[in-house]
Structure 1
Amino acid sequence: MNKLAGETSPYLQQHAHNPVHWYPWGEEALQKALQEDKPILVSIGYAACHWCHVMERESFEDEATARIMNEHFINIKIDREERPDLDHIYMDAVQAMTGAGGWPLNVFLTPDKRPFYGGTYFPPVKAYNRPSWKEVLLALAQAFKERRSDIEEQASNLTGHLSQSNQFGTLSASIVNIPREELFNREQCDTIFRNIMAQADKTWGGFGRAPKFPGTFTIQYLLRYHHSFDAPEALQQALLSLDKMLQGGMYDQLGGGFARYSTDDRWLAPHFEKMLYDNALLVDTLCEAWQLTRNPVYAQTIKDTLAFVEREMTDAQGGFYAALDADSEGEEGKFYTWSKAEVDAILGEKSPLFCEYYDVTEPGNWEGKNILWVQRPLSAFAAEKGLDAGALQEQLHASRQQLLAARATRVRPGLDDKVLLGWNALMIHAYAKAYAALGDPHYLDMAVRAMDFCWEHMRREGNEPAFYHTWKAGQGKHPAFLDDYAFLVRALILLQEVTGNQDWLSRARQLVELVIARFSDEAGSYFYYTTVGQRDVIVRKKEVYDGATPSGNAVMAANLWYLAIAFDNRHWDGRALDMLARLAQTVVRYPTSFGVWASTILQMVKGTRELAVVGPEYLARVQEVNDCYIPFKVLLGAEKDQPGFPLLQQRERAGETLIYLCENYHCIKPVNYIEEIINLKK
């Protein structure tokens, strides 16, 4: 009776042999619940989730527990990465009920899909101040039979709450019509900065207490705020956050790449899963830090992280895989941790220095084992030991390579090899940005190859450029969501900037037109997460929080602003301003939850540099522009004037390559090199 064997999701495949009668989300399960008038148990997780594995071993593989589930419920398993729309809805419901959320997410629905009870991990016996999973199952089964009216009332209240949560951003028309200079001002940017710093950990970097997430959007705001207003404190906190992450166990000191978050304040102990999106967003941020500081550590980390992505998370056809598991051989972090005896045996006489530098000890620094991390920068450690920093760096590199080779013989963590459109777009953007910052053409090749993969394999049939959300084993599934399209447009915009090929920008415009047609809300301001006509969700949600990944609405606002300038579309820039103005007060108050929005407010205050490069040497000049740190720009380049692109019209001069700096299409005298534009970076 378990119906998951035919699914392509690695997470659902992990549960295909449970004695639970699992169904995938779909008509068969939903109709069965209505016909038998049974409550639905929806259990949501993802392939790299440690606690999902724990609950599976403890409860879903247990015959006695499965019998209770099968008798009283229609049981549905969902991969949150395949169906983030359902995850958003039912996570919101559980957070409203309990004040907390996470995965595994276990939520109970009426037969018509409305939530009435839920939680996250439940232990097999009562523990951690939580009831046992069996107790929960039996109590809810009894309540559904004996107190149905109470359950229906709770379901109605929660569904009403979900609908009400879409009612945000109210703003009077008179305010919307205020000029941009009055809607957005320096005081807002300063308040955002102060509110960020109020949450900043000034010792270990990051924001808030453990568990600590990377906070890339907040770090980017601080970098851009410093660049805009010469604020050393902002730069210091941004770089401290990056440096401590790079030195910590959250960063894989041997193989490159970042884990999802740290369980402690010091970035020592991660949950060891590696997600594609985190690595993309951290590369993005490190590129900006490199351009601003030219610190070679940032450049090297970009290279090492992208080498990891190419080595371990890239499909042979060019797409990028979703995640690597936290567990191997049933144990969290086993692949990544070391005993001192193992290190000594591999490194021999080099071991003492290596162990001191990376904090490898006999008792261990985490659960009796050692996570490699750096407590003192290499230069300080070398000075303390009286060693040449260059020689020390070479020795440590050689030792890391030995350990990496030894680690390669271990049982590897599971790979979630589905290809997600939005996460791929984030990584395409990261590769294109790495090419812009570091100039390595291989990064551009990787970005273009992945975009070609998405365009070839994830397009849905029909005349419109509509896409699937996920792809695996030659099969695309589920209509793409708002953030898929938003991130894809963002990646296309940057590909145009680094290649000078306007075809990418034309594709971006096509997709924006599709998003406006299929995702717009009734007021024509924000965008729903799901496409029009989708019937299996109880509410169409509008997501605006910048969480682990950016909000699709936040990215669409920035996309609309950019493309409005590129194509001289006044309606699009008006809509972008409307979206931003309606949320501005909330963004200023809670900037760490609205980091992408915060940067767009900063852009409105500082202005957008409109840059046009025209002439036979345009590609070289475009690369020189991209090498500079200019966070708020629209950049177009071409050999000749281009019809349909206002910035590229009437710019051509025979035999010359010229750079135009413009605002509202009014340009200062063109120059031959970017360095000639005085104060461009400010």
Structure 2
Amino acid sequence: MANRLADSTSPYLQQHADNPVDWREWGEEAFAEARRRGLPILLSVGYAACHWCHVMAHESFEDEATAEYQNEHFVSIKVDREERPDVDAVYMQATTAMTGHGGWPMTCVLDHDGNPFFAGTYFPDQPRHGQPSFRQVLEALADAWQERPDDVRRTAEQVREHLRREAALVPGAVDARTLDQAVDVLAGEFDPMAGGFGGAPKFPPSMVLEFLRRYVGRPRPEGLDDEGSHRVRQAAHMLARTVQAMAGSGMYDQLGGGFARYAVDRGWVVPHFEKMLYDNALLLGVYARLGTDLGDRIARETAEFMLRELRTPEGGFASALDADTEGVEGKFYAWTPAQLVEALGDEDGAWATELLGVTVEGTFEHGTSTLQLRHAPDDPERWARLRARLLEVREERVRPARDDKVVAAWNGLAVSSLVAAAQRLDEPAFLDAALAAGTLLRDLHLRGGRLRRVSRDGVVGEADGVLEDLGCVAAAFVDLAAATADAAWLEPARLLLDDALARFRADDGGFHDTGSDAEALVARPRDPSDNASPSGLSSTIHALVSYAALTAEDAYRTAAEEALATVSSLMARAPRFAGWSLAAAEAMLDGPREVAVVGRPGPERDALARAARALPGALVVVAEPGASGIPLMRERGEVGGAPAAYVCRHHVCAAPVTDPAAL
């Protein structure tokens, strides 16, 4: 018999609709029930593609005896972290503070005011490796609630006070030295053997890579001393080594394109197989902007994967693909030598086995291997043919489940990166997909001047967007305006940025993650660090900078500068968690350069546009003479009857050029 989650719009919550646990959605009704029965609240947070969420559900939430005890002693709430990132952020902060680490599934126990007095992540169904079972945890917490209420109250108050004390954000100057310091810190954390930063597990540092790309490519007309030259070479090496390592790794889907969530090992061999939209959107942008053959290949394959496997009928992009099929993680993606031979024949199978690093022992589990492409094939045409055949064979397997809700922020990231891929690869289908997703965000998610967080099957949810939604979607609208020279996209971008400045801004010039009129939680979320996806602060800074560049409205530029100043210390000391802010700072240090390419369509204008778009962090608009809807294009014309490019910084423009080399 289905519980209260059966009517939820969240695919993750619907996964738990048949649990014997009497789950409720987050809301006042659940808290009122807890007060009525005098019970604590058990809050469980996860997401649809989360492997260990599935494991804990199967072991504990589907177990009748455990569920019976849980229903008797707790009021249980299930939250989709992707649908309610505000709730997730507050209790993840508590979990990290109380345990020293975080992750999903997240398990918190709360008092009737929402204050946590216990927090953890995954708990097994039996005691294991010194960890208590979930049933033991439930029994201890129920006993503490009944027998030691003073201890519970004291712990809850201490955690509440911790959550309410915001991390001190002391604004400071952001200049070239700040970015140099960030590169020095990154160099100390870089893995010279395998690329990337730190050890296992290893996450794709997409936002840091975008910063390094801009840092390396920033024009420095004043020249560099020996120390500066060495630093630029270090940055270039970290960028090149990491993008190459990830592209050839088991974390990258060598058959279908697209990246898994992270690698469980230092060498990028075995991934955690879920595929998230935000990872693929961000990495698509990185590879599309590299300007190399490798970048072009990975960008094309990743964009094609997104259009093929994540696109929804409404034109948006689904949140994720699951890691598991038929209850086994990675089963869809892993291969044995025998399976390759069966699919390709003896000779081709043996060749592919060697090329892709598939071994008899297996690099993954149960004798299976992930597919790696650590070096270019000696016969590219043969590999292309075999790759297509293996993809056909893999399509006959049971596919991973798809979380098909459309998250505004992540779709905004997808739009911006598809625009970059369309321009680099001269692929109109990618721009069409970006326009369709942008249209969905504008026409469905914008309601009464407010942005909604999620939609599904063309129906928008009730939850308001958080800051990352406003920032990522506003940036996407600006990118569409620049890509199409259509000023109609600027108005919804302005609407979102004005809303961010009105409801989300903090007294120090930074931003809160929720609006001033949002549901009051134990603490108001405010996390300026970039993690799996850009923070609300950094994504909003990007949007403010690009909007100001297109419109010449300095108030938005000033707001970006003030917000960036609040994370100056974070950028210099912990750059791995400030990559998107650093990328924005790079653009601002270089202007950003605003390039208006004006001319009749044709090869000459296309050559200028390509040269302009190669400038890291530049904002480029291409239009015919007379286009004036976008302020950057006003009073620009051809020169001597030839297409011309106008390069401006801070409202000061150089003389127009007609030669791509001069540009």
Which category describes the TM-score, using the shorter chain as reference length? over 0.9
CA distance in 1 between partners of 2:614 and 2:500 (Å): 30
Aligned CA distance change for structure 1 residues 446 and 644 (closer, same or farther; 3 Å): closer
8 Å CA contact 1:500–1:622 kept in 2: the answer is: no
Residues 378-417 of structure 1: pairs in structure 2 closer than 5 A: 378=376, 389=378, 392-417=379-404
Tell me, yes or no, if the aligned pair for 1:206 and 1:215 is still in contact at 8 Å.
yes
Taking structure 1 as the reference length, what is the TM-score of the superposition? 0.91
1:34–1:112: 8 Å Cα contact kept in structure 2? no
Q: How many angstroms does 1:143 deviate by?
A: 0.6
Q: Which residue of 2 aligns with 1:53?
A: 54
Residue correspondence of structure 1 range 204-219 to structure 2 within 5 A: 204-219=194-209
2:656 matched residue in structure 1:
670
Q: 1:261 to 1:394 in 2, by over 3 A?
A: same
Look up the match of 1:427.
414
| Offset from partner CA, 1:11-40 (integer Å, 9 cap, x none) | 111111111000111222122112223211
> Once the two structures are superposed, what CA deviation does each residue of 1:426-466 show, in whole Å capped at 9, x if it has no partner?
11111111012111111111110111122222232x3x2x2
Aligned to 2:224: none
Alignment match, 2:440: 453
Alpha-carbon separation, structure 2, partners of 1:320 and 1:604: 30
- Greater CA drift, 72-81 or 524-533: 524-533
In 1, Cα distance between the equivalents of 2:602 and 2:497? 27
1:336 aligned onto 2:337: no
Aligned partners of 1:106 and 1:120 also within 8 Å: yes
CA distance in 1, matches of 2:456, 2:539: 26
| Partner amino acid, structure 1, of 2:585 | I
Instruction: Please give the alpha-carbon distance, in whole angstroms, between the structure 2 residues aligned to 1:480 and 1:268.
Output: 36
- Structure-to-structure mapping, 1:54-133, within 5 angstroms: 54-133=55-134
Distance 1:407 1:258 in 2: 17
> Retained in 2: the 8 A contact 1:588–1:598?
no
Corresponding position of 1:179: none
Query: How far apart are the structure 2 equivalents of 1:256 and 1:17?
Result: 34
Partner of 2:431: 444
Shift, 1:618, TM fit = 9.5
- Comparing 88-97 with 652-661, which one deviates more in the overlay? 652-661
Gaps of 5+ in 2: 221-228
Question: In the aligned structure 1, how far is the partner of 2:531 from the partner of 2:361?
Answer: 36
Instruction: Find out whether 1:485 has 2:470 as its counterpart.
Output: yes
Provide the rounded CA distance (Å) in 2 between the counterparts of 1:617 and 1:576.
Answer: 35
Task: For residue 224 of structure 1, report the CA deviation from its aligned partner.
Answer: 1.8
Whole-Å Cα distance in 1 between the matches of residues 604 and 48 of structure 2? 44
Amino acid corresponding to residue 262 of structure 1 in structure 2? A
1:193 and 2:183 equivalent? yes
For 1:360 and 1:244, the matched residues in 2 are separated by 17
* Residue of structure 2 in register with 1:630 after alignment: 615
Distance 2:660 2:486 in 1: 20
**Aligned mate of 2:546, from 558, 562, 570:** 562
In the alignment, the residues of structure 2 paired with residue 407 and residue 28 of structure 1 have an alpha-carbon distance, to the nearest angstrom, of: 46
Alignment of 1:136-151 (within 5 A): 136-151=137-152
- Aligned residue number for residue 169 of structure 1: 169
Q: Is the 8 A contact 1:29 1:76 kept in 2?
A: yes
Q: Is the contact made by 2:486 and 2:630 (CA closer than 8 Å) also made in structure 1?
A: no
For the residue of structure 2 that corresponds to 1:632, the secondary structure is: coil
* Residue 641 (structure 1) shift: 5.5
- What is the Cα deviation at residue 245 of structure 1? 1.0
Instruction: Name the structure 2 match of 1:577.
Output: 561
Partner of 2:451: 467
Q: Quote how far apart the aligned CAs of 1:480 are.
A: 1.1
The AA in structure 2 aligned to 1:558 is: H
Structure-2 separation of matches of 1:421 and 1:164: 29
SS of corresponding position for 1:651: coil
Q: Which residue of 2 aligns with 1:594?
A: 578
Q: Quote the Cα distance in structure 2 between the aligned partners of 1:194 and 1:322.
A: 35
**In the aligned structure 1, how far is the partner of 2:647 from the partner of 2:524?**
42
Partner Cα separation in structure 1 for residue 209 and residue 390 of structure 2: 32
Choose from 306, 314, 338 the match for 1:309: 306
Per the alignment, residue 503 of structure 1 pairs with 488
CA gap 1:604/1:458 in 2 versus in 1, 3 angstroms: closer
**2:375 partner amino acid:** P
Q: Which amino acid aligns with 2:496?
A: L
Deviates more, 1:214-223 or 1:192-201: 214-223
Residues 46 and 80 in structure 1, CA contact (< 8 A), matched pair in contact too: yes
Question: How far apart are 1:424 and its partner, in Å?
Answer: 0.9
Deviation of 1:637 after TM superposition, in Å, equals 4.3
Q: Which runs of 4+ in 1 moved over 6 A?
A: none
Say if 1:364 and 1:370, in contact at 8 Å, map to a contact too. Answer: yes
Which of the residues 524, 533, 536 maps onto 1:540? 524
* Structure-1 residue corresponding to 2:225: none
CA distance in 1 between partners of 2:146 and 2:210 (Å): 53
* Cα deviation 1:288-328 (Å, max 9, x = unaligned): 22x2xx2x222121111111111111112211111110001
Return the alpha-carbon distance in structure 2 between the equivalents of residues 342 and 642 of structure 1: 58
Partner residue of 1:613 out of 582, 586, 597 = 597
Find the residue that maps to 2:490 and give its secondary structure: helix
Give yes or no for contact 1:115–1:155 (8 Å, CA) kept in 2.
yes
Aligned equivalents of 1:378, 1:544: Cα separation in 2: 40
Counterpart position of 2:213: 223
CA distance in 2, matches of 1:600, 1:456: 28
Could you list the per-position Cα deviations for residues 537-581 of structure 1 after superposition, in whole angstroms to 9, with x for gaps in the alignment?
222212211111001101212222232333333332222112222
C-alpha separation in 2, matches of 1:644 and 1:456: 21
**AA matched with 2:64:** E
Of 448-457 and 417-426, the range deviating more from structure 2: 448-457
* Residue identity matched to 1:101: G
Q: CA deviation at 1:622?
A: 7.0
User: Mapping of 1:343-354 within 5 angstroms?
Assistant: 343-348=340-345, 349-354=347-352
Extract unaligned runs of 5+ from structure 1.
176-182, 380-388, 678-682
Bigger drift between 13-22 and 663-672 goes to 663-672
1:256 to 1:375, Cα distance in 2 relative to 1, 3 A: closer
Give the whole-Å Cα distance in 1 for the aligned partners of 2:52 and 2:649: 52
Residue 378 of structure 1: SS of its match in structure 2? coil
Does the 8 Å contact 2:442/2:492 carry over to 1?
Answer: no
Deviations 1:475-494 (A, max 9, x none): 21111111111000111111
Q: Does the residue aligned with 2:44 lie in a helix, a strand or coil?
A: strand
| Distance 1:150-1:499 versus aligned 2 partners, 3 A rule | same
Contact (CA 8 Å) 1:618, 1:637: kept in 2 or not?
no
Q: Distance in 2 between matches of 1:563 and 1:338?
A: 47
Asked whether the 8 Å contact 1:496–1:503 carries over to 2, the reply is: yes
Match for residue 245 of structure 1? 246
Matched with 2:503 is 518
| Cα deviation, residue 620, structure 1 | 7.1
TM-score, normalised by the number of residues in structure 2: 0.93
Considering only aligned residues, what root-mean-square deviation do their CA atoms show, in Å? 2.1
Q: Give 2:437's aligned amino acid.
A: A
Letter in 1 for 2:403: D
Q: 1:118 aligns to what SS in structure 2?
A: strand
Does the 8 Å contact 2:594/2:649 carry over to 1?
yes
Q: Is the 8 A contact 1:272 1:333 kept in 2?
A: yes
The whole-number CA distance in structure 2 between the counterparts of 1:122 and 1:632 is 45
SS at match of 1:124: coil
What letter matches 2:328 in structure 1? E
- Secondary structure of the residue aligned to 2:566 is helix
